[in-house]
Amino acid sequence: MKQHDIEDPQLQELARKLGVRAAERLDVERTTLGVLSQLRQAKRQRPWVVWTQVAWVRAAAMVVLLVGIGVVLQPRAESVRTAWDEPPAGAVQELSADQLTRVLDELNQPVDVMVPAQEDAGLEDLSEPQLRALLQSLEG
Amino acid sequence: MAQPQPVAAPVSDAALIAAWQGGDERAAAELVRRHARALARFLAGAGALEADLDDLVQDTFVRAFRSIARFRGDCQFRTWLLTIGGNVLKDAGRRAARAKVIPLAEDVATTAGDPHAEAEAGEAADRLHDELGRLPRMQREVFLLRAQQGLDYREIAAALGTTEGAARVHYHHAQRRLKESLT
């Protein structure tokens, strides 16, 4: 016999008596009626509870569906809006001559700005051969 | 202890469970009559107040009948019922603690509520009762299932979802602590 199997007779006897008086005072018939009453009540409530649960599940599914549709459609709506606001490069072909000129003028603007920067270069920055070549060109 | 006799000829618990699942209320009533006192003894031993016993027994049966589909027959119906009773008692203890009622374990010594009954109870039994309330839940339940309900370790292990060896160890620890409290 293992050590764990050794049981104390006095302890066993005391344990067997635990709760005996309280259990004997229990009115079993009243307990039985109470249990049956609760089971009947639960049975009556069950269809309503099930209906409520189904309704909640449907509402939750609808919300999830709507959110999902929103998430899927939002990037597409963004791209449509962007396309509307900024026509693609291919649309340049559809511009009128005046519009095209204005666009080209705007594109040329930075180039014009750069020119004064080149003119600002002083004569002292030129080397001697460059100066000579410049004078020759001015004298014609 | 005299158990109430079944109304009909001896019908197995399994047959009554099947009948209840088929909607027969009398089968449920018979199961309550068969096992209510054993359940009450177990709950009282585990620290339930006598004033709460009826409610706890009812709650245990209702919970058991609602989840009867989960009873796989690994152990006896009574053993399964006792483990559900342990859960019901634990939940009641939590509710009592939240309601700032005196904790269950500290109130065990005054369970009877009847001064004469209290006087009749032996000092050793009172000490055992007190010490049981201080044991870890697993040790307490294994001890009660073994020493009070007379179940074997295989049955206890199946009901509590543990191994026979672990059940023996829990019993051994419980017994050692309880013996110390009695000496």
Interacting residues of B92 by C-beta distance below 8 A, sequence separation 6+: B48, B52, B56, B59, B104
- The answer to the question of residue A96 being in a domain is yes
- Top mean-pLDDT range of A66-75, B59-68, B113-122: B59-68
DSSP structure string for A75-100: HHHHHHHHHHHS--GGGGGGS-HHHH
% chain B with pLDDT above 70: 83
**CA distance to partner chain B, nearest, from residue A37 (Å):** 10
B66 touches chain A (CB under 8 A): yes
Mean pLDDT, rounded, of chain B: 84
- The answer to the question of residue A11 being in a domain is no
Rounded to 10 deg, the angle between the A9-17 and B123-134 helix axes is 90
B66: which chain A residues are within 8 Å (Cβ-Cβ)? 42
The answer, yes or no, to whether residue B10 has pLDDT greater than 90, is: no
- The answer to the question of residue A125 being in a domain is yes
Q: Give the pLDDT score at A55.
A: 79
- The answer to the question of residue A84 being in a domain is no
Domain extent, residue A118, equals 89-140
Which of A85-94, B19-28, B109-118, B157-166 is least confident? B109-118
Summarize pLDDT for B28-65 with one digit per residue, the tens: 999 999 999 999 999 999 989 999 999 999 999 999 99
B168: which chain A residues are within 8 Å (Cβ-Cβ)? 2, 4-5
CA distances from B3 to A96, B37, B45, B56, B176 (A): 105, 7, 18, 19, 31
Q: Give the pLDDT score at B101.
A: 46
Closest of B37, B141, B144, B39 to residue A14, by C-alpha? B144
Evaluate whether B79 touches B151 at the Cβ level (below 8 Å).
yes
How many domains is chain A built from?
1
Q: Any alpha helices (H) in A86-127, and if so which ranges?
A: 97-119
- The CA radius of gyration of chain A, in Å to the nearest whole number, is 48
B49: which chain A residues are within 8 Å (Cβ-Cβ)? none
B40 with A8: Cβ contact below 8 A: no
Select the residue of B112, B143, B169 nearest A22 (Cβ to Cβ): B112
Structure tokens at B159: 């009901």
The answer, yes or no, to whether residue A79 has pLDDT greater than 50, is: yes
Specify the residue for token string 């109304």.
B7
Closest of B29, B57, B32, B33 to residue B43, by C-alpha? B57
**CA distance to partner chain B, nearest, from residue A55 (Å):** 23
The domain locations on chain B are: 13-182
- Top mean-pLDDT range of B59-63, B68-72, B98-102, B106-110: B59-63
Select the residue of B29, B37, B178 nearest A26 (Cβ to Cβ): B37
Q: Computed from CA positions of residues B135, B137, B138, B141, in that sequence, does the dihedral angle turn out positive or negative?
A: positive
Residue with the bigger pLDDT between A71 and B9: it is: A71
Residue with the bigger pLDDT between A112 and B140: it is: B140
Structure tokens at A98: 């005046």
Q: Give the pLDDT score at B100.
A: 52
d(CA B80, CA B75) in angstroms, rounded, equals 7
- The answer to the question of residue A112 being in a domain is yes
Average pLDDT over residues B119-141: 83
Q: Based on the number of CB atoms within 10 Å of its own CB, is B8 exposed (0-12), middle (13-18) or buried (19 or more)? A: exposed
Closest of B122, A106, A111, B86 to residue B130, by C-alpha? B122
Q: Out of 3.30.70.260, 3.40.50.80, 1.10.1740.10, 1.10.1200.10, which CATH number does the structure's domain B13-182 have?
A: 1.10.1740.10
The answer, yes or no, to whether residue A66 has pLDDT greater than 80, is: yes
% chain A with pLDDT above 70: 70
- The answer to the question of residue A15 being in a domain is no
- The answer to the question of residue A27 being in a domain is no
Mean pLDDT, rounded, of chain A: 77
CA distances from A67 to A70, A75, A117, B160 (A): 5, 13, 56, 45
- The answer to the question of residue A117 being in a domain is yes
Angle at B156 between CA B151 and CA B161, to 5 degrees: 170
B71 touches chain A (CB under 8 A): no
Interacting residues of A3 by C-beta distance below 8 A, sequence separation 6+: B172
Mutate to test the interface with B, among A24, A31, A39 (most CBs of B within 10 A): A31
B53: which chain A residues are within 8 Å (Cβ-Cβ)? 22-23, 26
